[in-house]
Amino acid sequence: MDSALQRVLDEQAARPLPAHTVRDVRVPSEEGIATALVGMRRVGKSYLLFQQMQQLLASGVPRSSMLFVNLEDDRLGAPTTRTLDEALEHLFRTGPQRYEQTVYLFLDEVQAVPGWEQFVLRVLNTENARVFVTGSSAKLLSVEIATGLRGRSTAVEVLPFGFTEYLRHAGRGPASDPVGADRRSEMESAFDRYLRVGGFPGVQGLNDIDRVRMLQDYVELVIFRDIVERHDVANLVALRHLTGRLLSDFAREFSINSIYKSMRSQGISVGKDTLHAYLDHLLDARLLHTVGVRRASYRARQVNPRKAYAVDPGLAASVAHPLVEDIGPLLENAVYIELRRRHGRLHTDAVSYFASPAGGVDFVVDSSGAPQIVQVSASLGATVTREREVRGAVAAMGELGVREATIVTLYERDTIETEAGTIHVSPAWRWMLGLE
């Protein structure tokens, strides 16, 4: 066995599992099926594997039956399927005899190994093993899974901490009804902080300057490791401009055509097809997500502007440097990510926005049952704002044939009866915690 791999595996076996915040992510484990955890770098995929290992230990599975390998460990150089074979043989030499009991393979950042899916399929077919992999490229994993694993896998998206997990990490339990004035004030303050800090585990507890710097470093890491290196991007200036534009204008409509014209006017030479490819790479790396208009026609969905959302409100705040009065877009970004956490799918988005001459709403969720209408507004205090948000919700309810809608605000709670149905006004912290 390669000496570097030997050292890595020996260290892993001897090191206690790190402490971690329990995540509210369901990780399936089925016989004969590989489980793939997909998400942007630093969202906590590795620690979710550690959580699975801890649960196995608690159920009586010995540590010697588990193998964890970080395939982006620089000591491994450029790992290959031979590296994986040698790691598996090491597990059987130091742990259970082959077929004697189930072994568990945890392969972190598996996209670093070309042809990894062939190894996983062989293991599933020939060994008594459960396999868990993580990756920071949804497309890479999906293509390899579809072509190499032939339906023998399931994929789970991993996002930064939601508000409930954020509270848990801070050692605070979420509020439950009935909520007194002191507890409500505490939750409002915590949620306001969540909008600024976000849910990346590695930045919790940092001061503001260090947090912003680290989140900006995360963006740079994605640009270089997941886009420039992986896709051999040549026009770094155009890629940086596109990334900065989308992250700075989060929660707003955009089109590649308008960005193309803006870049050309600034003397940045790039083609539209290249910008479309770069946008695809950014989505694949899970740095951001886009939401299209709700239309039955595929062409209508393609020609209408989309809206971009950062993977995390704290990351959006660190890159765009929003002012205090820009709390509305941050709230909208946080609501979208929570909707994605509850209803999203890895490769198709259940969330769209609604637009009509009568008014629009930020989100329509087509997951199961009747469509869900969710409008976002920091405050309904101004009469013109209240009328606009209600008008949009009423238009959506009428067109979609539903009798309820929700407006998520920072602090307000109300019930508005209209001719189209009932609109529930919910404080964001209550909505995030599932109390509404």
**Residues facing 353 on adjacent strands:** 293
Say whether both 226 and 281 belong to one domain.
Answer: yes
Instruction: Evaluate if pTM is beyond 0.75.
Output: yes
| Amino acid identity, position 50 | F
What one-character DSSP code corresponds to residue 293? Answer: B
**Please, what's the largest Cα pairwise distance for the chain?**
73
Domain total of the chain: 2
The domain boundary residue, chosen from 102, 131, 158: 158
| Pair 203, 135 in one domain | no
- Give the pLDDT confidence score for residue 263 in this predicted structure: 97
The reply to whether 153 and 187 lie within a common domain is no
Do 404 and 298 belong to one domain? yes
Q: What range does the domain containing 51 cover?
A: 3-158
Distance of CA 271 to the CA centre of its chain: 29
Does one domain contain both 134 and 227?
no
CATH code at position 76: 3.40.50.300
pLDDT given at position 147: 72
Q: Which of 104, 130, 158 is the C-terminal boundary of a domain?
A: 158
Pair (135, 179) in one structural domain = no
Whether residue 209 sits in one domain with residue 357: yes
- For 109-158, the pLDDT digits (tens) are 999 999 999 999 999 999 999 999 999 877 666 666 667 787 788 889 99
Does one domain contain both 125 and 184? Answer: no
What is the model's pLDDT at position 325?
A: 54
Asked if 113 and 151 sit in the same domain, the reply is yes
Q: Residue 86 is encoded by which pair of tokens?
A: 């040698």
Q: In the structure encoding, which two tokens stand for residue 184, read together?
A: 């409500």
If asked whether residues 137 and 198 sit together in one domain, one would say: no
User: Which of 143, 158, 173 is at the close of a domain?
Assistant: 158
Residues 148, 195 within the same domain: no
End-to-end CA distance of the chain: 56
Which pLDDT score, from 0 to 100, does residue 194 have?
97
Other C-beta atoms within 10 Å of 79: how many?
A: 25
Q: Are residues 124 and 179 both part of a single domain?
A: no
Low-confidence ranges of the chain (pLDDT < 70): 139-146, 321-325, 345-348
